[in-house]
Amino acid sequence: MILKNKTVKAINGVTIPQLGFGVYKITKEGEFETVISEAIRIGYRHFDTAKIYGNEDVLGREIQKSKIPREEFFITSKVWNTDHGYKATLKAFEQTMNKLKVDYLDMYLIHFASPNYLETWRAMEELYSRGKVKVIGVANFEIQHLEELRKHSKILPMINQIETHPEFPQNELHEYLKEHQILHEAWGPLGQGNKALLEHPVLQKIALAHQITVAQVILRWHIERGIIIIPKSSNLKRMKENSQIFDFELTSDDIEKINQLNTGKRYSINPTGYIINPIYNKLMKIFI
C-alpha cells in the first residue's frame, strides 16, 4: 500500500517523510510485531526508535520480513545518555546497527543533552563523514545546547526532535530552528494522547467542521507548520486515521484558533538543567 505523505529536506538535501511512526513503549514482542507489520501494510515507511526503547531488534526483523527494499524505509534511532562520549557513541551505534540488521541509518540522534554531549557529537560527525548515517541531529535540545554545539562543531545538527503539541508549540525554539535551517521534529505530537487535549472544545469544533478526528486536526496543524511528526499508537484504527491527513487543509482561522491553545504545558520532564544520573535515567524511561 502506498501512503500519501509529504516530505521535507534536511540542509544536506536528504528527503525525510514528514509523517513517521513512533515505537516508544511498544515493547511486548507479539504486540510489536502486529503493530509494525500493520503499520507497514498501511504504508508507513518512516520509523523512529531508540536504544532505550528496547525494540530496535524487533523493528529490524519486521522490516526484513516485509521484503520491502531497505532504501524505501527511513529509520531513525538515538544514542542514550549512558553511551555519551566519542568511543562509547561509536560502540553504541554499532550495537544499534546490529540490532536493526542494517548497514546504515537514515537518521541518528543524541537523545538528550547529557554531560559530554560535545564528544558525542564528534562521534556523530565521524559517522556522518563515513556515510554510516544520512542525517545527524539531536533530541530534547534547547537553544543553549544548540548554541554550544554551534561553537564547537564542524557540522551543525540537521534536526531537533522535541516535545511539541498545541499546548506546547515551542514557538521560540521553532523560530530558532528555522533561522538556522535545523528541521523541527515533534515527539508526542498529540500531547501523549492526553484526554483533555483530545477533548478540547475548540479542537472538537474544528474536527466536526472538517468531518475528521481531533487527532487528525492536530497532526495536520503540525504538517502545516512544516514539522516532522512521529505519532505512536498500537490501536490499528487510530494508526490508519493518523495517516489520513493529506486530503484536507486547515483554514487560516482554524490554525489561529489552535495557536491560541498554547499554555506552555509540557507532558514530560523539562530537559534543561537536569543532571544525568541513574535516578534521572529511570525517570526518563517513564517520561520520554
Q: Residues comprising the binding site?
A: 111
Q: What are the cell numbers at 269?
A: 520532564
Asked about 53 being catalytic, the answer comes back as yes
Q: Own/partner pairs for 4-9, CB < 8 Å, 24+ apart?
A: 4/43, 4/243, 4/244, 4/246, 4/247, 5/43, 5/45, 5/46, 5/246, 6/223, 6/246, 8/183, 8/226, 8/228
∠ at Cα 243 (163, 42), nearest 5°? 125
| Residue reference for cell 540542509 | 11
Catalytic hit among 24, 44, 53, 108: 53
Q: Which residues are annotated as a binding site for substrate?
A: 111
Main-chain dihedrals φ then ψ at residue 282, nearest 5 degrees: -65, -40
C-alpha 258 chain-centroid distance: 21
Instruction: Give the CB-side neighbour count of residue 158, counting CA atoms within 13 A.
Output: 21
* Nearby residues of 161 by Cβ (< 8 Å), 6 or more positions away: 48, 109, 137, 138, 139, 140, 185, 186, 187, 230
Q: What are the cell numbers at 223?
A: 504538517
Terminal alpha carbon distance of the chain: 31
Strand-pairing partners, residue 175, are: none
- Nearest residue to 77 via CA among 64, 86, 98: 98
3-state secondary structure of 134: strand
| Residue reference for cell 492526553 | 194
Q: What are the cell numbers at 121?
A: 557529537
Which residues are annotated as catalytic?
Answer: 53
